[in-house]
Amino acid sequence: MSYSRKFNTGMHQWLGILSLFILLISACKKDKSELVNVPLAVTDYYPNSGAQGTLVTIEGTGFSSKADEISATFSGVKADVVSATSTAVVMRAPASATSGAIEMKVNGQSISVGNYTYQELSVQTISPVNGAAGTHVRITGAGFSSTTGPAEVYINGKIAIVVSASDNLLVAEVPESAGTGPVTVKVNGKEASGQTFKFQVISGIKPASGGKGTHVKISGGGFDEVIAGNYVDFNGKPALVTEATAEYLVVVAPADVKTGPVSVTINDQKATGPVFTVVPMPVIESVTPLSGPLGAEMTILGLNFSIHTDENKITINGKSTVVLTATPFKITLTIPGGTGDGKVILNVNDQIVQGPDFKDQSLGISKMSPDNGLAGTQVTITGTGFNTTASANTVTFNGVLAQVVSASTTSLVVITPPTLTSGQVKVVNAGQSALSPVNFNRAGVMTLAGGPNQTGLDIRERGGSIAVDSHGNVFLMEVSNHVIKKITPEGVISVFAGSSTRETGNQNGTGTAARFNFSYNSGLVIDKQDILYVVDGINNSIRKITPAGVVNTYAVNLNGPGRLAIDDSGDLYVQTQYSLTKVDKAGVRSVVRGFYGGNEASRPVIIGSYLYYTDNDNLYINRFGLVDGLNLRGWAGNGEYGSSDGPKNQSMLVSPKGFIYDGKGNFYFSDGFRQTTRKLNMTLNDLSTVSSQSTSGWYKDGGLMDAEFRNRDDMAIDKDGNIYILDPGNNAIRKMFLK
């Protein structure tokens, strides 16, 4: 190694050491310059009475840890300082003093402590020094016995129940709402106070719901001002404390949080507060509009929002917004403007979800009415920034150009194109483009088979039933002709089983060789293997028909069977004259419920372990537990005649019938008010109108709010969610498609 390399290496080492030394000196100077003088203050002292020689503890700040820097007097008589720290000094009451003031000096600075009384009665220690209502506090001291009356104990001035007593020990129970304050004992007209008892209480939590990671503020009192002194749990699961004062704590809900009470433990003393409810993550279903100017109102629809506006925080491209209203399913807010283009982010009690992109511009779509229909439907698009010249606005439905009929700055009237398909609507004006908040669905009602003055179908006698198989073939009962007819997806009608010659007795066979004797309101259902089960009413039996049309007798002697329901395992439930009867896959019968009380004109439906039906009042939907046998009348409906939407128990119904379930949480039925189709979202327990006649006409295909029925009856649903409706007033089978 050369001399120069050795020299350079050595120089580098010395320079490094020198730099480190300078940093250390700087750090020391910095630490010295940042020393803070803690003010001299007394926060508590105890006991405030006792005999000569009693040890008195003074707590506070700014004390010295050197006993020779502290002096004290009792009524002017010097006291011995036994021990000292920066926060606590212990001294002995001098023998020659009298009752009076305690004065203390720390490094020449004087401070008044309080009064001390020389007497036999003295409160020396309490244990525990903190706790909630109901805590038993052990109070040690002297002079607690009395011949004239028992000792009384007060905590922060509120009387406590004395559980046990002796001359030098009392046990007292902390009263409700005691608050933080001294423990005081009164005996024979004398009074002595000891250490301050910290009353632990949780008065509230906010938010009261959320999930893992939710920051919760616990309000109350008696908390430790040092974070590590507070142990918080959510239903037994420990939580992280991030902030602590005597009046509140801020904690983070743990990853494995479950619904249950929030508790705070300090010095092994536990206080339990309200229940924290774990809720699912919020879900954004739609944001309206997806573009718009400053001051416009935005609506967010979805699930699991908070009803408290301040617990829903929405940003657009990172910029905060002002929330106007909030329900569990809907939030409205004001668009702040100047956001630029970016994501809509929703934070509900620290549960964060990402929404769609938003454009900061003048052009925006807030609403379409209707938002479904067929080709040729007139649609009003409401929003901002449209051109008042109709032809200057370009409108497309799922990419297909539509005709703009009229225009204003806030409204466009358009006609859906002939080749309409479901999809997003787009408006273009002056180089800006805006998308609809939800898709426009090609939805409506079309006649699958039959119709006024059409032959090949005869369902004008009401009381029939309908089913659809896995291939989209519709099966229905022609009650007056005693046959089962089949309609293909293309609308081709044929006789599937039975003959117009009715039979008293169960004549089996294939296709038209079989015979039935139907009665009014007979039932028809289909299982997962496309096997039909048909109520043969006059013959008091249930018949089974295979996909090949082979008819066999399944159950007999049913005493007036009517509508049918089938569960996921293939067991049948039939309404009879006097009961609800189960017929299992082996054909074995059992009475599930005695007097059933169901409306035989309405098909029941089984969802999970419950059967849903309507009774003869026709203003309720009821629920019967197939496992627990409990009947809930008025599961939906408020018992009043009408068709109002909203929470299921506040909504009005009129003769609900034709119950069907889509397997996705949606319960559909026909409602007699204006030939309406209603949907009950079983997750939200919310009732809404899917279709309703806008006129008093009798027969018309068209959009969901334009189609017309006459005396609609039973319904069925296929695997794609299309609904098939018996329309006996028009002698037709109608197909309703929702998208």
Q: 203-213 pLDDT, tens per residue? A: 999 999 999 99
d(CA 243, CA 41): 24
Quickly count: other Cβ atoms within 10 Å of residue 46's Cβ.
25
Q: What number is the average pLDDT over the span 63-86?
A: 96
Nearest-angstrom CA–CA distance, 477 and 482: 7
Rounded average pLDDT over 440-465: 90
3-class DSSP string for 73-129 = EECCEEEEEEEECCCEEEEECCCCCCCEEEEEEECCEEEEEEEEEECCCEEEEEECC
pLDDT more than 70, % of the chain: 95
Amino acid, res. 314 = I
Average pLDDT (585-602) is 82
CB atoms within 10 A of CB 402: 23
pLDDT band at 11 (very low <50, low <70, confident <90, very high): very low
Q: How far is CA 462 from CA 8, 237, 476, 619, in A?
A: 108, 61, 12, 20
Question: Do 543 and 587 touch, CB atoms closer than 8 A?
Answer: no
Report pLDDT for 102. Answer: 97
> Rounded CA gap, 531 and 567, in Å?
14
In this prediction, residues 434-447 reach a mean pLDDT of 93
pLDDT of residue 511: 95
Residue 5 has pLDDT above 70, yes or no: no
* pLDDT reported for residue 33: 40
DSSP 334: E
For the chain, report the end-to-end CA distance as a whole number of angstroms.
85
Residue 449 pLDDT level (bands cut at 50, 70, 90):
very high
Does 428 or 686 have the greater pLDDT score? 428
Asked if residues 644 and 652 have their Cβ atoms less than 8 Å apart, the reply is yes
Torsion of CA 271, 274, 277, 278, to 10 degrees: -20
Distance CA 128, CA 200 (A): 12
pLDDT at residue 16, as a whole number: 42
The model's confidence at residue 460, banded by pLDDT at 50, 70 and 90, is confident
Per-residue pLDDT for 28 more than 50?
Answer: no
Q: Please give the pLDDT value at position 119.
A: 94
Instruction: Classify strands 589-593 and 580-583 as parallel, antiparallel or unpaired.
Output: antiparallel
Half-sphere exposure of 96 (CA within 13 A, CB side): 6
Of 175, 194, 173, 174, give the one whose Cα is nearest residue 184.
194
Half-sphere exposure of 146 (CA within 13 A, CB side): 16
Per-residue confidence (pLDDT) for residue 673, from 0 to 100: 75
pLDDT(27) > 80: no
* Residue-wise pLDDT tens digits, 247-272: 999 999 999 999 999 999 999 999 99
- Specify whether the CB–CB gap between 232 and 241 falls below 8 A: yes
User: Each residue of 353-394: pLDDT tens digit?
Assistant: 999 999 999 999 999 998 999 999 999 999 999 999 999 999
Which pLDDT score is estimated for 36? Answer: 58
Res 8 pLDDT > 80: no
Whole-number pLDDT of residue 594 = 85
Task: Give the model's pLDDT for residue 32.
Answer: 41
Q: Which residues of 183-201 are buried (b: 16+ CB within 10 A; e: fewer)?
A: bbbbbeeebbbbbbbbbbb
Cβ contact 368:288 at 8 Å? no
615 bridge partner residues? 598
Furthest CA-CA distance within the chain: 125
Alpha helices in 106-188, H assignment, sequence order: none
Q: pLDDT band at 14, cuts 50/70/90?
A: very low
Structure token digits, residue 612: 């849903």
CA pair distance 52, 57, nearest whole angstrom: 14
Give the model confidence (pLDDT) of 307-340 as tens digits: 999 999 999 999 999 999 999 999 999 999 999 9
pLDDT at residue 598 is higher than 90? no
**Residue 238 — φ and ψ, nearest 5°?**
-65, 145
pTM value is 0.70
Collapsed DSSP state (helix, strand, coil) of residue 298: strand
Is the per-residue pLDDT at 13 higher than 80? Answer: no
Q: Is the pLDDT score of 101 beyond 90?
A: yes
- The arithmetic mean of pLDDT across residues 613-632, rounded, is 89
Q: Which two tokens stand for residue 38?
A: 């803690």
Q: Residue 248 to residues 155, 278, 308: CA-CA distances in angstroms? A: 22, 22, 20
In contact, 223 and 201? CB cutoff 8 Å: no
For residues 532-545, average pLDDT: 95
Q: Can you tell me the mean pLDDT for 533-561?
A: 94
pLDDT band of residue 602 (cuts 50, 70, 90) is confident
Would the pLDDT of 137 be above 50?
A: yes
Beta strands per DSSP E along 648-731: 657-661, 666-671, 676-681, 686-691, 715-717, 723-727
Name the one residue in this structure whose structure tokens are 């002697």: 557
Q: How far apart are CA 540 and CA 505, in angstroms?
A: 9
Q: Which of 30-44, 484-498, 583-597 comes out lowest in average pLDDT?
A: 30-44
Contact between residue 180 and residue 198 where contact means Cβ atoms under 8 Å apart: yes
**pLDDT higher than 70, residue 450:** yes
Look at residue 1 in the predicted model and tell me its pLDDT: 36
Mean pLDDT computed over every residue of the chain: 91
